Amino acid sequence: MTLVAILSGAGISTDSGIPDYRGPNGLWRRDPEAEKLVTYDCYMADPEIRRRSWQMRRSSPTWRAEPNAAHRAVAELEQRPGFAVRVITQNVDGLHQQAGMPGRKVLELHGTSRSVVCTVCHARSSMEDALARVEAGEEDPPCLACGGILKSATVMFGQRLDPVVLGEAMAIAKASEVFIAVGTSLQVQPAASLAGVAAEHGARLVIVNAEPTPYDEQADELVREPIGTSLPALLERLA
């Protein structure tokens, strides 16, 4: 059984219509003010920031997005005999699961945009229900359990990654025989370090990304072709 770990970043979802936030045309480069909407301290301190954040969530392209060929290729590999596949994703869009990857085999390093969490009592509920309340006129819907401030169940700027999830990701990186970093700049730590950890523990490191990354020198193979065609072809070759 070959353990294949796939670290996916924003680039795997651009073909699904979800923009890359940090790329040359990314949202943070085009509108630095938008970064405040996903910065924890700003969000907690300013009701106007929260109101704008809820409007941004309402119009998110995630709700219209469908898994693309790259997501489907990963799910298909997981079903192939002889392969154990684990996905470690920096994305919050849930498209790996929609494509057929079992949820227990997907580690969401930065959380999920499909749920909301209370910042006081930590109760979780669906984003769909919260957005329905916004549609009905609540500009900043409070937690129904305790009245606390609700936020997307994603890791905002200024928040730590869940140490349990990060620990699991590190263990997978160390145990993997093939580690594929796809659509990620490998510049955001600690997620980026997983590629180096995998290489140091003997994994074959493959980086599929349009731009150079800090880990290219450690890679056994670099792929600069479009992800939607190159990743399915790469995974097919693993067989």
Domain boundaries, the chain: 1-18+67-110+160-239, 19-64+113-154
Strand partners, 223: 208
| pLDDT for the residue numbered 24 | 52
φ, ψ (nearest 5 deg) of residue 213: -125, 165
- Coil, strand, or helix at residue 150? strand
- Tens of pLDDT, residue by residue, the chain (239 residues): 999 999 999 999 999 999 876 555 555 556 667 888 999 999 999 999 999 999 999 999 999 999 999 999 999 999 999 999 999 999 999 999 999 999 999 999 999 999 999 999 999 999 999 999 999 999 999 999 999 999 999 999 999 999 999 999 999 999 999 999 999 999 988 999 999 999 999 999 999 999 999 999 999 999 999 999 999 999 999 86
| pLDDT for the residue numbered 25 | 54
Looking at residue 102, the DSSP 8-state letter turns out to be -
| pLDDT for the residue numbered 26 | 56
> Could you name the CATH architecture of 1-18+67-110+160-239?
3-Layer(aba) Sandwich (3.40)
State the pTM of this model.
0.92
The catalytic position among 71, 110, 122, 201 is 110
| pLDDT for the residue numbered 17 | 92
Is the CB of residue 205 less than 8 Å from the CB of residue 181? yes
CATH for the stretch 19-64+113-154 = 3.30.1600.10
Chain mean pLDDT for the chain:
94
| Number of Cα atoms under 13 Å in the Cβ half of residue 35 | 10
Contacts of 162 (CB under 8 A, 6+ apart): 111, 155
| pLDDT for the residue numbered 19 | 82
- Asked if 110 is an active-site residue, the reply is yes
